[in-house]
Amino acid sequence: MKILVHACCAHCLAETLAGLEEVKKKEWEPVVRWCNPNIHPLIEWRRRLKAVKMLCERAKLLLLADETYGLRDFLHALDGTYGAGDRCRICYALRLGDAARTAKEAGIPLFTTTLITSVHQDHAAIRAAGEKAGKENGVSFVYRDLRGVEDVDAKLVFSLYKQQYCGCVFSEEERFAPTTTHLYPPRPGLPRADSP
């Protein structure tokens, strides 16, 4: 049975494919959807899209990609809501709404998302957004808790870009603000090379 898989990145896509195999009660035929207006900056968005395309080629999967960089659409959807919980729920609704509409238009009765593999995401909010989008579009959201999937096909992700944060500029700030990454001098208190 065909299932549309919303993909946020190649590594999560590989985990989702492996997870669907593990819980195989049906013969899944994945079709991949790329629509991530939340991912920023532009180069990060391009890196992730390129990696998803490469994985789809390797796995011989159909990719339905929205290749429109969505900075303005994402910020418009947030409408000033920047706190982690609320902003994430808006983001899930935005992307899963697109996935449900795409599944309906393509005649695919089921859809899911790679977000269900992440230990950093709010699974209850993902499930609620997916089920709501599915109901509104006459398709079914498939939720499986795929955190901790280990049986990933290493050939699918070999040398593919792996991101360090969820995707939006706010999650990037939350990920790196507490670190000393790219600070100069790298640690407070160390003498600078140009100091006497």
The domain of 142 spans 2-176
Strand order in the sheet with 29-34: 62-65, 29-34, 2-6, 110-113, 140-141
Cα distances (Å, whole numbers) of residue 74 to 125, 145, 184, 188: 18, 26, 32, 36
CA distance 12 to 160: 12
Q: pTM of the entire structure?
A: 0.88
Q: Is residue 140 part of a domain?
A: yes
Query: How far apart are the C-alpha atoms of 20 and 27, rounded to whole Å?
Result: 9
The domain total for the chain is 1
What is the block-wise mean pLDDT of the chain (196 residues), using blocks of 10 residues? 96 94 75 96 95 97 97 94 89 97 98 95 97 98 93 92 82 83 70 55
Would residue 194 count as lying in a domain?
no
Q: Residues 47, 53, 58, 61: is their CA dihedral positive or negative?
A: positive
Please give the pLDDT value at position 106: 98
- Residue owning tokens 């159909």: 62
Let me know if residue 195 belongs to a domain.
no
Give the CATH number, domain containing residue 69.
Answer: 3.40.50.620
- Give domain status of residue 111, yes or no: yes
What whole-number distance in Å separates Cα of residue 70 and Cα of residue 102?
A: 17
Determine, yes or no, domain membership for 54.
yes
Measured between alpha carbons, how far is 30 from 41 in angstroms, rounded to an integer? Answer: 28
Q: What is the pLDDT of residue 169?
A: 80
In a domain, 12, yes or no: yes
